[in-house]
């Protein structure tokens, strides 16, 4: 439990430091010739979910770069530790995930406000994770028994169709906030002979093969000269 609490404190500290960094450097950046750059952000949704589900600890980041006019290459990734303490079993899962894809900006230059973008995109996601279940208690004709499912190393894949908005803050140049709506289609990782994983890091609950999600983020663009 202390390790999980320490991890939450570390995540809060990293988030606070990141927000301070982007605000300070954003206010210091006044060169209008710096138009493009590598945008690096923190996805706030895992941090929000931690407040509603104390068994969940996670962090996620995202990067994008405009490699061609209105086309952005995107890389996302994260880590998840998930724990369920139930009277009849204890479930633990932890793993990492990554997504790669492309976004297309629909806002034309004459209609843009600063560097805002309204986009749609596609993603391919993959996750490598481990799960284990301890202290399983069950009762049958012969009595009450306890069992354990040893740690398993699993792999999951999914595809995403995304859409969203990224808005540059008026008072902090190169600092962006935004949201991304995600339609996720599970490709593999749900079926398992021993125990179906409860969640797949990056995808979420495995109850459905099609699910929707929403991400909120804050990001800083490291500017490059044109």
Check residue 52 and give its pLDDT.
81
pTM higher than the cut 0.95: no
Write out pLDDT tens, residues 154-199. Answer: 999 999 999 999 999 988 888 999 999 999 999 999 887 778 888 9
Separation between Cα atoms, residue 33 and residue 40, nearest integer Å = 20
N-terminal to C-terminal alpha carbon distance within the chain: 50
Write out pLDDT tens, residues 16-58. Answer: 545 554 444 444 444 444 467 899 999 998 888 887 877 889 9
Write out pLDDT tens, residues 58-92. Answer: 999 999 999 998 999 999 999 999 988 876 678 88
Check residue 224 and give its pLDDT.
77
Task: Name the residue among 62, 26, 28 with its Cα closest to residue 43.
Answer: 62
Tell me how far CA of residue 67 lies from CA of 37, 117, 148, 209, 224, in angstroms.
10, 15, 50, 32, 12
Write out pLDDT tens, residues 115-158. Answer: 889 999 999 999 999 998 876 655 555 645 565 667 789 999 99
Q: Where are the domains of the chain?
A: 2-223
**Cross-strand pairs, 221:** 39
Give, in words, the CATH class of 2-223.
mainly beta
Separation between Cα atoms, residue 133 and residue 86, nearest integer Å = 11
* 111 pLDDT higher than 60: no
């Amino acid at each position: 439990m202390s390790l999980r609490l320490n991890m939450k404190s570390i995540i809060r500290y990293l988030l606070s430091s990141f927000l301070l960094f982007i605000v300070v450097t954003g206010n210091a950046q006044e060169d209008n010739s710096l138009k493009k750059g590598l945008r690096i952000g923190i996805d706030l949704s895992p941090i929000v979910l931690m407040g509603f589900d104390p068994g969940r600890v996670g962090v996620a980041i995202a990067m994008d770069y405009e490699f061609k006019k209105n086309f952005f290459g995107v890389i996302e990734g994260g880590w998840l530790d998930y724990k369920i303490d139930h009277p009849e079993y204890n479930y633990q899962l932890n793993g990492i995930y990554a997504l790669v894809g492309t976004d297309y900006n629909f806002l034309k230059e004459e209609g843009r406000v600063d560097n805002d973008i309204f986009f749609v995109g596609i993603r391919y996601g993959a996750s490598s994770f481990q799960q284990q279940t301890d202290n399983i208690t069950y009762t049958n004709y012969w009595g009450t028994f306890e069992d354990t499912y040893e740690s398993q190393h699993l792999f999951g894949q999914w595809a995403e169709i995304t859409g969203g908005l990224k808005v540059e803050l008026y008072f902090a140049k190169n600092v962006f906030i935004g949201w991304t709506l995600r339609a996720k289609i599970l490709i593999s990782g749900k079926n398992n002979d021993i125990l179906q994983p409860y969640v797949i890091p990056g995808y979420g609950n495995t109850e459905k093969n099609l699910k929707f999600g929403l991400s909120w983020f804050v990001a800083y663009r490291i500017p490059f000269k044109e």
